[in-house]
Amino acid sequence: MNGSSPSLEAIRWPAPAKLNLFLYINGQRSDGYHELQTLFQFIDKADYLTISANHNGAITVQPDSDIPLTDNLIYKAANALQQYSGTHLGANIELEKNLPMGGGLGGGSSDAATTLVALNQQWQLNYSNKVLAEIGAKLGADVPIFIHGLASVAEGVGEQLTSVDIDEPWYVIACPQVHVSTAAVFTHPTLIRNTPKRPLAQLLSDAWRNDCEPLVKKQYPEVAKAIDALIEYAPSRLTGTGACVFATCQSQQQAQSILQHCPAWLNGFVAQGSNQSALYKQLKLRNKI
Which residues form the catalytic set? Answer: 18, 142
ω into 91 cis (within 30 of 0)? no
First to last CA, the chain: 24
Could you tell me where the DSSP H helices lie in the chain? 73-85, 107-122, 129-137, 143-148, 182-187, 200-205, 213-219, 221-231, 252-261, 278-287
- Residue 164 to residue 78: CA distance in whole angstroms: 30
Determine phi and psi for 38, rounding to 5 degrees.
-145, 150
Contact 24, 243 (CB under 8 A): no
Angle, helices 73-85 vs 107-122, to 10°: value is 30
- Residue 221 to residue 160: CA distance in whole angstroms: 33
Provide the CB-side half-sphere exposure for 200 (13 A, CA): 11
Indicate left, alpha or beta for 54 from its phi (over 0: left) and psi (-120 to 50: alpha): beta
ω into 63 cis (within 30 of 0)? yes
